Amino acid sequence: MYKYDAIDRQLVNERVEQFRDQVSRWQSGELTGDEFRPLRLQNGLYIQRHAPMFRIAVPYGMMNTAQLRKLAYVARTYDRGYGHFTTRHNCQFNWPKVEDCPDILGHLAEVDMHAIQTSGNCIRNITTDQFAGVAADEAIDPRPLAEILRQWSTFHPEFAFLPRKFKIAISGTTEDRAVTWFHDIGLHLQQQNGEIGFRVIVGGGLGRTPIRGQIVREFLPWQHLLTYCEAILRVYNRQGRRDNAYKARIKILVQALGVETFAQLVEEEWAHTKDGPATLTQAEYDRVAAHFTAPTYSAAADDGVYGALQQSDKAFARWLERNTHPHKVAGYAAVTLSLKQHGVAPGDITAEQMELVADLADQYSFGELRISHEQNIILADVRKSDLPEVWLKAKAGGLATPNIGLLTGIICCPGGDFCDLANAKSIPIANAIQARFDDLDYLFDIGEIDLNISGCMNACGHHHVGHIGVLGVDKNESEFYQVTLGGRQGNDAKLGKVIGPSFSAEEMPDVVEKIIKVYLDNRQADACFLDTFDRIGIDPFKNLVYEGRAHGKAKAAQAEAA
């Protein structure tokens, strides 16, 4: 992975001192709360419900074991012994003290980590596919260009105070695993006539107004990545709405102008800077790409033993099926360590687990790991002959729940237990559903299904693109949950449809169970949930879920009578 050089390290160290100074000027009253707020947000520091929340960047999800051990140290020293991985390659701590944050940043800087632009109305952490560089279906490794984007977006002087936050995702595979259709800019790496470049998608986003992005340029040669992104951002910075935070994302601008007009403005802007100094050079690409060369793979990585165990041990076989992913090198597999153990907040990881993962990565995966947007950890380069050992050790650490892609492998935001923005709690809903579906045979029978939960319409839990989406809403100061069906990520990404009136927290496990029942009752052969939903539509689900349930006027009348 990318190793910092002198300039990278210098900038991160200077950031620590800048932030230390900002905190001290805030404490002395020189900076007002309003003046400090955007500054601390651009360093990932929120003042939350119970305590501050501190968001650390894991750029494009890549991490080495020294970094993970440092996160464990921070968790233990400054927090309550655990951290939380988010849907955008970040690690969050929920209980630090504001005055400790400069020191925490100092510790992180020792291992080339930081919290730069993890929040605020600026260019956020660049995200990509968790299997980048090893995926069997990958055309081009997106990581060198993701790193180039990271450097370019870090302290960009023109775009530090945008109308609203700005998220960029980049993907180089046939199957889109980076939710690129729902980012402010989504970049699809591809080849055209032997030339490498991007399809550029703009104006996607989840949140309050979920919109699928639109293509503004079918092919952009890679050398123009920075000048073209600057053109997009300049148009947005100048014309994006600043009068209403809910209408300030670039998606609203693209909708208002129409994608053709928007694309034309970008092209006009770009014409001035195209081929200018910010045009990428082959030398720079090669310099960065040299950090992402393949490790020294072993030719004898598969001794066949794991195959025998797969036959004899059902639990291992299940883990193999759900938690390993095809690798482009024969004899290797990418392993997903599940942070979705039933009963634990999805994405949460203890300091001890971090250290276990670091040990596993050192021993079995070249000392590196990745964080996925599904809030799990990936060991990307594991020899198949090591899989039984990795499984046993991960299992002992509570990291081998074989539920990746299954109903209980839930994506879930921290919700009302922690987050100030939340309308409702989300973790207890996830845990209640996990408890209801605790039987592995049943889970495997149900098969592939994405259940995503967000505690508010900001959609950190990506509920819109869950096959089953759950959104926490606030009705008369009580927590309710709205359910959507049929959403999906990937190339055919689309938004789920709302099934009907919302439910109380207590009803949610029953509701999910009924949805699953409709699917199983209507399943043909081994069609998955999504295919079945596409075939039968939303009505059968509505009918069962709301059967005997008064709603609308009837419900109001009932409430009146009660």
Partner 1 sequence: MAQLIKNNAVTADTWTTLELAEGETPETVTLPDGDIIFPFAVWQARKAEIISRHKRIGLLLTGDDRVEEVATELDYFIVIAVAFPKFVDGRGYSTASLLRQRYGYQGELRAVGDVLHDQLFFMRRVGFDSYALKDGKDVVYALQAGFSSFSDAYQASTSQPQPYFRRRA
Rule CB under 8 A: is residue 180 a binding residue for partner 1? no
Rule CB under 8 A: is residue 242 a binding residue for partner 1? yes
Rule CB under 8 A: is residue 482 a binding residue for partner 1? no
Per-residue binding string, partner 1, 327-366, x by CB under 8 A, is ----------------------------------------
Contact with partner 1 (CB under 8 A): which of 16, 22, 378, 529?
A: 22
DSSP element (H, E) containing 340: none
Q: CA 425 to CA 51: how far, in whole Å?
A: 17
Rule CB under 8 A: is residue 278 a binding residue for partner 1? yes
Give the nearest distance from C-beta 249 to partner 1 in angstroms.
Answer: 15
Q: Which residue has the tokens 């000027």?
A: 25
Rule CB under 8 A: is residue 99 a binding residue for partner 1? no
Rule CB under 8 A: is residue 24 a binding residue for partner 1? no
DSSP element (H, E) containing 191: strand 185-192
Q: Token pair of 326, please?
A: 């095809």
Question: Per CB under 8 A, which of residues 409..468 are in contact with partner 1?
Answer: none
Task: Select from 105-113, 157-165, 177-185, 442-450 the region that touches partner 1 (CB under 8 A).
Answer: 157-165
Contact with partner 1 (CB under 8 A): which of 30, 99, 175, 195?
A: 30
User: CA-CA distances (angstroms) from residue 471 to 8, 452, 453, 455?
Assistant: 40, 9, 6, 6
Task: Give me the phi and psi of 169, to 5 degrees please.
Answer: -125, 145
Task: Select from 46-54, 108-116, 154-162, 535-543 the region that touches partner 1 (CB under 8 A).
Answer: 154-162
Contact with partner 1 (CB under 8 A): which of 2, 93, 131, 152?
A: 152
Q: Which residue has the tokens 């299904």?
A: 449
Quick one: how far is CA 373 from the chain centroid? 3
CB 292 within 8 A of CB 99: no
Q: CA 61 to CA 231: how far, in whole Å?
A: 26
Contact with partner 1 (CB under 8 A): which of 50, 97, 238, 475?
A: 238
Tell which residue, 153, 56, 196, 87, has the closest CA to residue 452. Answer: 87
Rule CB under 8 A: is residue 29 a binding residue for partner 1? no
Q: Token pair of 223, please?
A: 């050398």
Tell which residue, 148, 144, 140, has the closest CA to residue 173. Answer: 140
Give the nearest distance from C-beta 10 to partner 1 in angstroms.
Answer: 6
DSSP 402: S
Nearer to partner 1, 29 or 194 (CB): 29
Q: How far apart are the first and last CA of the chain?
A: 63
Per-residue binding string, partner 1, 39-78, x by CB under 8 A, is x---------------------------------------
Tell which residue, 476, 325, 449, 451, has the closest CA to residue 387. Answer: 325
DSSP 97: -
Contact with partner 1 (CB under 8 A): which of 43, 117, 118, 151?
A: 151
Give the nearest distance from C-beta 211 to partner 1 in angstroms.
Answer: 23
Task: Select from 23-31, 182-190, 431-439, 554-562 the region that touches partner 1 (CB under 8 A).
Answer: 23-31
Contact with partner 1 (CB under 8 A): which of 24, 27, 192, 281?
A: 281
Residue type (1 letter), 205 = G
Rule CB under 8 A: is residue 160 a binding residue for partner 1? yes
Rule CB under 8 A: is residue 33 a binding residue for partner 1? no
Tell which residue, 178, 191, 183, has the closest CA to residue 220. Answer: 191
Nearer to partner 1, 255 or 279 (CB): 279
Rule CB under 8 A: is residue 268 a binding residue for partner 1? no
Strand partners, 333: 326, 382
Tell which residue, 190, 202, 258, 260, has the closest CA to residue 229. Answer: 202
Nearer to partner 1, 19 or 480 (CB): 19
Rule CB under 8 A: is residue 257 a binding residue for partner 1? no
Rule CB under 8 A: is residue 378 a binding residue for partner 1? no
Rule CB under 8 A: is residue 35 a binding residue for partner 1? yes
Rama region for 202: left / alpha / beta (φ>0; ψ in -120 to 50; rest)? beta
Burial state string for 260-280 with b = 16 or more CB within 10 A and e = fewer than 16: eebbebbeebbeebeeeebbb
Task: Select from 12-20, 43-51, 91-99, 549-557 the region that touches partner 1 (CB under 8 A).
Answer: 12-20
Q: CA 81 to CA 353: how far, in whole Å?
A: 10
Task: Select from 160-168, 397-405, 421-429, 443-451 the region that touches partner 1 (CB under 8 A).
Answer: 160-168
* Count of residues touching partner 1 (by CB under 8 A): 40
Output the CA torsion 124→128→132→135 (10° steps): 170
Rule CB under 8 A: is residue 9 a binding residue for partner 1? no
Nearer to partner 1, 21 or 195 (CB): 21
Rule CB under 8 A: is residue 23 a binding residue for partner 1? no
Rule CB under 8 A: is residue 385 a binding residue for partner 1? no
Residue type (1 letter), 42 = Q
Question: Per CB under 8 A, which of residues 114..143 are in contact with partner 1?
Answer: 121
Rule CB under 8 A: is residue 552 a binding residue for partner 1? no
Contact with partner 1 (CB under 8 A): which of 280, 378, 512, 516?
A: 280
CB 411 within 8 A of CB 346: yes
Residue type (1 letter), 514 = K
Give the nearest distance from C-beta 284 to partner 1 in angstroms.
Answer: 4
Task: Select from 174-182, 270-278, 296-304, 392-400 the region that touches partner 1 (CB under 8 A).
Answer: 270-278
Rule CB under 8 A: is residue 98 a binding residue for partner 1? no
> Three-state DSSP class for 416?
helix
Strand 411-412 and strand 451-454: pairing?
Answer: parallel
Hey, how many other C-beta atoms are within 10 angstroms of the C-beta on 396? Answer: 10
Rule CB under 8 A: is residue 10 a binding residue for partner 1? yes
The secondary structure of 113-126, three-state, reads: CCCCCCCCCCECCC
Q: Which residue has the tokens 């990795």?
A: 390
Contact with partner 1 (CB under 8 A): which of 25, 76, 80, 291?
A: 25
Q: Which residues in this chain contact partner 1 in the complex, by CB under 8 A? A: 7, 10-11, 14-15, 18, 21-22, 25, 30-31, 35, 38-39, 121, 151-152, 154-162, 226, 234, 237-238, 242, 272, 276-278, 280-281, 283-284, 287
